Chain A
Amino acid sequence: EVQLVQSGAEVKKTGESLKISCKGSGYRFANYWIGWVRQMPGKGLEWMGIIYPGDSETRNSPSFQGQVTISADKSIATAYLQWSSLKASDTAIYYCARIDDDGSAFDFWGPGTKVTVSS
């Protein structure tokens, strides 16, 4: 059974750094792209970027370029999303999701990590 398990909720201050994780199981983690999706409070879904754990090739949405860093460690089947300096506007739920064989859809999703940033 494919599963994506995400790290727990975070409460941070503006300017702090943060790294959240997404651990895959039940499939060959290195062989499927993983995407990160943001959902701000009461809003829709926004694609942030993707990573191929096999070689760590990464592609970022222009909207998030330079704002976050996506990485992965295939040896422990885990992908990461990190910020060097959080802003209040980073308050959101962040989902990781596996991209299917064709690269066309997000077929399995993690439960999300809620990040709250306050001053």
Chain B
Amino acid sequence: IVLTQSPATLSLSPGERATLSCRASRSVSTSLAWYQQRPGQAPRLLIYDASKRATGIPARFSGSGSGTDFTLTISSLEPEDFAVYYCQQRSDWYTFGQGTKLEIK
């Protein structure tokens, strides 16, 4: 299963709403997770099972979707949210999307 993330880069300002997309080449039901990776750090789990927030993740992060189309939404960007975001599926072993870089405008 191939995961395609869009856009590759998203330029926004703090306080704005971010919408990141992940599309699967075939259905993964809700077996999809989202990760945040800040420069020089390991990835951090944000969302699992498409819409469940991981422990300690702020409520401004939300996930939605099922089947082949998924969305990660950050309702109001904080300075620490500017990072790279990856989606990952578990329906057919494990694969990651190529990432979306969220940068400050």
Partner-B contacts on A (CB < 8 A): 35, 37, 44-47, 50, 59, 61, 95, 97, 100, 102-112
Contacts and interface: CB of A to CB of B under 8 A. Distances in A.
Q: Chain A interface mostly helix, strand, loop or mixed? A: strand
Interface stretch (B9-17, B66-74, B75-83, B94-102): B94-102
Given A100-B48, A105-B33, A112-B42, 4 more contacts: A37-B43, A45-B86, A47-B93, A97-B43
A70 to B, nearest CB: 14
Contact of A104 (B31, B43, B95): B31
Q: Select the residue from B37, B41, B93 with max chain A CB neighbours within 10 A.
A: B93
A59 B93 contact: yes
Q: How large is the interface on B (under 10, 10 to 19, 20 to 34, 35 or more residues)?
A: 20 to 34
Given A104-B49, A106-B33, A47 B42 contact: no
A87 to B, nearest CB: 22
Nearest to A45: B96
B43 A109 contact: yes
Contacts of A111: 41-42
A110 B43 CA distance: 9
Contacts of B41: 111
A115 B38 CA distance: 20
B86 to A, nearest CB: 6
A106 B88 contact: yes
B86 A103 contact: no
A103 B48 CA distance: 11
Contact of B45 (A35, A95, A107): A107
Contacts of A105: 33, 45, 48-49, 54, 88, 90
Contacts of A61: 93-94
A22 B33 CA distance: 23
Nearest to A111: B42
15 contacts: A44-B96, A44-B97, A44-B99, A45-B35, A45-B37, A47-B94, A50-B94, A95-B43, A102-B48, A103-B90, A104-B33, A105-B33, A107-B48, A107-B54, A108-B45
